Structure 1
Amino acid sequence: MGVRAVRRAPGGGRPPGPGARPFLLKRLLIEVPFVAFAVLMPFVAEGERVDVLGLSLSVNGLWGAWNVLAKGTLGVAASVLLASTTELRELLLGLQRLRLPPLLVQIASFMIRYGDVITDEMRRMRIARESRGFEARGIRHWGVLAKSAGALFIRSYERGERVHLAMVSRGYAGSMPVIDEVTASRAQWSYALALPFAALVVCLLGWTL
């Protein structure tokens, strides 16, 4: 089973346009709990106080809120942009070029490749149980679910052994061959450096203010 590509942000490899903004903003909503926590920090933190617009705020709380907002926003934005514009296969190749241990790269690769296979196996087992009138309603049914989990583990293990033997018989030596060598263009480098540059600006503002 081939690697499924992550849904790309509107615009593909082009600079983000108006259609990409709602796409990214929706996924940045995961940061809302951290923003709420950061807003409360100046009010509940202890230490030196300062008056801002008639409100008594903690200096330590303000710095803590700034750290949470800056680091959280940059981290979430980087993750969303990476997942939205980079296919999983390209991401694994990038990790391999960054000298991540080959074993970890291969584990991640097989996890992505066969995640859907295991999920489909679970679905078939659930359908088989339901076709026999089984319905988990309480603790007394946990034994059946535990046996199903054990059977799924054994099937997955045996499948992994068969796949490994098939790969070894075809010359597998611990790393997957790179079929198409892709190099980044200047435009892609400029897009990639935009976020670290923004992080540097934020750090400089934090040191100077």
Structure 2
Amino acid sequence: MSNNNWNNWNPNYPAQQAPQQNKTSPWVYSIVAISVVALLVAGVLTATAVMGKDSGDGEESPVAAETVASKKSSESPATTTEREKTSEAEPTPEDEPTPEEPRGSGSSSPEYRLSSYGWEGSPAHCNADDQWLYAAYGDGDYVVVCKVGEHGDYYYRSYVGGHSIEKDVDMSYADPSRGSYSVPVGGGTRIEINQKDLKVYEHGEVASNVTFDQFFVVDR
């Protein structure tokens, strides 16, 4: 008889207990559930951070753009006003008028003012309303050649070497466009004017010579 049969037959032998199954603790399920939830939350937070970074690298938000635009528009009128004030306060050299001068040469300043009638305040001045065709000055000497009226002859007036003189011009040798004139004085003496040079001839010989600082020629 086998042991199993013997045990089954023997009433005093205690009944064999069924093997017990290991039971899982409820805490284990709780820990697993918490871990899963934590992983899900971490994944959501990571995705949110990545999306936020991508959106920050792109275009700025409408609110920020509107703020910048309003700031620029508020600063623009003030800048424009300052530029307008600066342009009004500082005139450019192009706006400054340049005085017109008769055609001539030289650079020194005369003692007398030259008007249409000659050197004002000096003997080298035309008579009445006559106007000059030629004017020159230099080293205290002043000369004009004037025209009588609109169609008259020419005459010479000067203050040279401390002496004043008035004589008629020899019209046959007059060249107003070049500033060249011949003035007979009398007694074998004549005055020759050629732009900046004035020469006094006595009996064909040069007695004196004057070089002006500046001369003027006007066509009338």
Max Rg structure: 2
TM-score over 0.5 for the pair: no
Which has the bigger relative contact order, CA under 8 A and spacing at least 6? 1
Q: TM-score, normalised by structure 1?
A: 0.16
User: Which protein has the bigger strand share?
Assistant: 2
